[in-house]
Amino acid sequence: MPHVYYNSWISDYKNPFGAVQQEEKVTFQMDIHENQVIEAQFIIRKENGSQGEEKYQMKDTGDNRFSCIYTPHEGKGLYFYYFSVKWKDDHGGELTAYWGASAVKGEGWLYQEQHEVIPYQLTCFEKEEQTPDWYREAVFYQIFPDRFYNGNQDGKVNKPKRNSFIYGDTRDTPMYVRGSKGEILRWDFYGGNLEGIRQKIPYLKDLGINAIYLNPIFQAASNHRYDTADYMKVDPMLGDEALFREIMEDLHEEGIHVILDGVFSHVGRNSIYFNYDGTYGEDKGAYRNLDSPYYPWFSFSEYPDKYASWWGIDDLPEVDKSNKEFQDYIYQDDNSVIDKWSRLGVDGWRLDVADELPDEFISGIRHKLDQYPEKVLIGEVWEDASNKIAYEKRRQYILGNHLHGVMNYPFRNTVLDLLQLEKSPQELCQRLTQLHENYPKDVLFNNLNNIGTHDTKRIYTFLGEDKERLKLALSFLLIAPGIPCIYYGDEAGLTGEQDPDNRKFFPWEDMDTDIFKHCQKWIAERKQNNTLKYGDFVLFHTDDVLGMLRFTDDEYTIYIINPHDAEKSCHFDDLQFLREVPLTDEVIKGIFNNLTVHGKSDFFVTGKI
């Protein structure tokens, strides 16, 4: 077998790195150390393209190097490629082998059989997804409104809902009152409200927050409000539209932007649209009236009691997103949901369960948002959004004119695997570099990073309430490329298992100030450090530690995490960089000269290039 080498992460073999814009030329080069090479071919196909598999002869440029320039000419989408090598053996016979990707891409390896080849992915996008400066410089704070703060002077809860219960103390542990089938019988509330958010603006400013992601605020029956009752109204327990307008003005005056949670896959059973329990009138809503204007929004198999619902949950009737009237209501009409809240000052949206929304629906929302200045659109996607298949369809999330970015759960998984010692630093560097390769650069830097949300176990609990490891998770969140988002209370040491335990009330009287100050320090560093806001990155590792180099044209930052209990030494000769770096060996040697990182600790240094 000949000695063949190709690495899609090194610009000497593939240039430019990562995703490319349609009609952008890409140079592919590979090394073949074999005296009797007959030919080398670059083989590529566009998924669902019209050309099928195309083969291009690679030119022998000397010094065992073979080269080919390719231009993606079938528009945006995913292209898959590999290489074939044909040579003569010592007896004059012709042999063929194939170079394809490994499970983590990058270097790949040689295959003897063509049908076994794992191809490399080349992401081709339509246009750059530039976001406003406020977003690229943001440090987000996710607020679950009922659990943050009650701003009423007397502490009373605004307009409690019927057949619900209110906790007697904000220190109480949240729980669900369930029936025999697991259904929620009575929703529970603490009484957090919009006025509470306004009163805590000084707290948010002190922490360093300049953007908020609000879990749903629209009228609903539950405490989480993902069961929308009326998209056009603020839930009365939180306040009203006039108060919302005031608070938006106050937040903007303090330099804090706001994105809302858009839950458009389904509505609440007890909503103005479905009206299961008759709250909105005996003959109103799709469940009670076949002539309701909302009836075509829903799919009934046996009217009225058998209908499509989100993941089979009866409380959440599923909406037909292809219905023209529903599209008009959400984003097409001049007085649509998107229009109304945009005019009230909302700076963007996070689309809940983006997998449930057709690409055309997402692009319709994006088209409407683009009519307003400096808005952003983020989607809830848990996996690699570049190649996600949902309901047997490859999604277009990040290829242009859809989402600006997604919630970066793969980043969260990497942080957890690192700090729990589940995977080696090498594996995790490869995982993040593969994501870097697959995503358009703008999208990667627009991703809303998290280490925990309302849908996950609390990060502090996940890490066994190990404070030093929690600090490392928060530091890494604020160092990494993308937009950091802190789940309310993580900076205060809040614990919690899965829902509902991860949605406790904020511990205002029992905050861990040590964690708060740590978080505050790293937020301040990020806000004044351009490499952390705008810089590219390269990952590196030794057997024991994971590192990240962030850099611009004239500055760099190096950050290293040691997740082990014991201290670890980092020597220049042990470093493995996954891509080229803009620093000389002399600079790197100077940094890593007898460098030791204490157990469950990190190392941070900045400099000029």
Please enumerate in sequence order all residues whose Cβ is within 8 A of that of 173, keeping only pairs 6 or more positions apart, or say none.
501, 504
Show the tokens assigned to 7: 């690495």
User: Is the model's pLDDT at 484 over the cut of 90?
Assistant: yes
| List 380, 442, 491, 536, catalytic entry | 380
Q: How confident is the model at residue 380 (pLDDT cuts 50, 70, 90)?
A: very high
Is residue 514 in some structural domain? no
Q: List, for residues 338-361, the tens digit of each pLDDT value.
A: 999 999 999 999 999 999 999 999
Q: How confident is the model at residue 374 (pLDDT cuts 50, 70, 90)?
A: very high
Residue 335 to residue 315: CA distance in whole angstroms? 27
Residue 313 to residue 304: CA distance in whole angstroms? 15
Is residue 521 in some structural domain? no
User: Is the model's pLDDT at 214 over the cut of 90?
Assistant: yes
pLDDT (0 to 100) of residue 105 = 86
Residue 332 to residue 267: CA distance in whole angstroms? 19
Long-range contacts of 174-181 (CB under 8 A, 24+ apart): 174/147, 174/500, 174/501, 174/503, 174/504, 174/505, 175/500, 176/500
DSSP classification of residue 317: B
Report helix angle 425-438 to 409-419, nearest 10: 170
> Higher model confidence: residue 89 or residue 546?
546
Burial annotation 570-592 (CB, 10 A radius, 16+ → b, else e): beeeebebbbebebeeebbeebb
Is residue 112 in some structural domain? yes
- Pairing outcome for strands 20-21 and 3-5: unpaired
User: Is the model's pLDDT at 1 over the cut of 80?
Assistant: no
- Which residues is 86 bridged to in the sheet? 39, 96
User: Is the model's pLDDT at 316 over the cut of 80?
Assistant: yes
- Pairing outcome for strands 448-449 and 405-408: parallel
Longest CA pairwise span in the chain (Å): 93
Residue 54 to residue 43: CA distance in whole angstroms? 6
DSSP classification of residue 502: G
CATH number, domain containing residue 19: 2.60.40.10
Cα of first residue to Cα of last residue in the chain, in angstroms, is 43
Is residue 382 in some structural domain? no
Is residue 201 in some structural domain? no
Burial annotation 299-324 (CB, 10 A radius, 16+ → b, else e): eeeeebeebebbeeeebbbbbebeee
Amino acid of residue 347? D
Give backbone dihedrals phi and psi of 141, rounded to 5 degrees, phi first.
-135, 120
Centre a 10 Å sphere on the Cβ of residue 168 and count the other Cβ atoms it contains.
7
Is residue 45 in some structural domain? yes
Q: How confident is the model at residue 543 (pLDDT cuts 50, 70, 90)?
A: very high
Region 179-192 average pLDDT: 95
DSSP classification of residue 146: G
Q: Any idea what the Cα angle at residue 562 is, between residues 107 and 512, rounded to 5°?
A: 130
Q: List, for residues 157-174, the tens digit of each pLDDT value.
A: 999 999 999 999 999 999
Alpha helices in 254-400 (DSSP H): 324-327, 337-343, 359-369
pLDDT (0 to 100) of residue 346 = 99
Active-site annotation holds for 525: no
pLDDT (0 to 100) of residue 571 = 94
DSSP string, 325-349: HHHIIIIISTT-HHHHHHHTT--EE
pLDDT (0 to 100) of residue 486 = 99
Could you give the number of structural domains in the chain? 3
Is residue 212 in some structural domain? no
Region 296-315 average pLDDT: 98
User: Is the model's pLDDT at 312 over the cut of 90?
Assistant: yes
SS3 content of the chain, % helix, strand, coil (to 5): 25, 30, 45
Local structure of 247: helix, strand or coil: helix
pLDDT (0 to 100) of residue 517 = 99
Show the tokens assigned to 121: 């992915």
User: Is the model's pLDDT at 34 over the cut of 90?
Assistant: no
Please enumerate in sequence order all residues whose Cβ is within 8 A of that of 112, keeping only pairs 6 or more positions apart, or say none.
97, 98
- Pairing outcome for strands 94-100 and 109-111: antiparallel
User: Is the model's pLDDT at 495 over the cut of 90?
Assistant: yes
Round the average pLDDT of the chain to a whole number and report it: 98
- Pairing outcome for strands 211-214 and 257-262: parallel
Q: Of the residues 301, 318, 335, which one is the last residue of a structural domain?
A: 318
Q: List, for residues 408-461, the tens digit of each pLDDT value.
A: 999 999 999 999 999 999 999 999 999 999 999 999 999 999 999 999 999 999
Alpha helices in 254-383 (DSSP H): 324-327, 337-343, 359-369
**Of the candidate ranges 98-112, 136-150, 183-197, 527-541, the one whose mean pLDDT is the lowest:** 98-112
Is residue 477 in some structural domain? no
Q: How confident is the model at residue 2 (pLDDT cuts 50, 70, 90)?
A: confident
- Which residues is 213 bridged to in the sheet? 142, 259
What residue numbers bound the domain in which 298 lies?
Answer: 266-318
Q: List, for residues 262-273, the tens digit of each pLDDT value.
A: 999 999 999 999
Give backbone dihedrals phi and psi of 94, rounded to 5 degrees, phi first.
-95, 130
CB distance 272 to 280 below 8 Å: yes
| List 146, 227, 352, 491, catalytic entry | 352
Residue 609 to residue 601: CA distance in whole angstroms? 26
Q: Of the residues 293, 318, 343, which one is the last residue of a structural domain?
A: 318
Q: What is the pTM of this model?
A: 0.97
CB distance 603 to 571 below 8 Å: no
Q: Of the residues 71, 104, 125, which one is the last residue of a structural domain?
A: 125
pLDDT (0 to 100) of residue 92 = 85
Residue 446 to residue 407: CA distance in whole angstroms? 9
Region 530-551 average pLDDT: 98
pLDDT (0 to 100) of residue 103 = 86
Residue 425 to residue 548: CA distance in whole angstroms? 11
Active-site annotation holds for 509: no
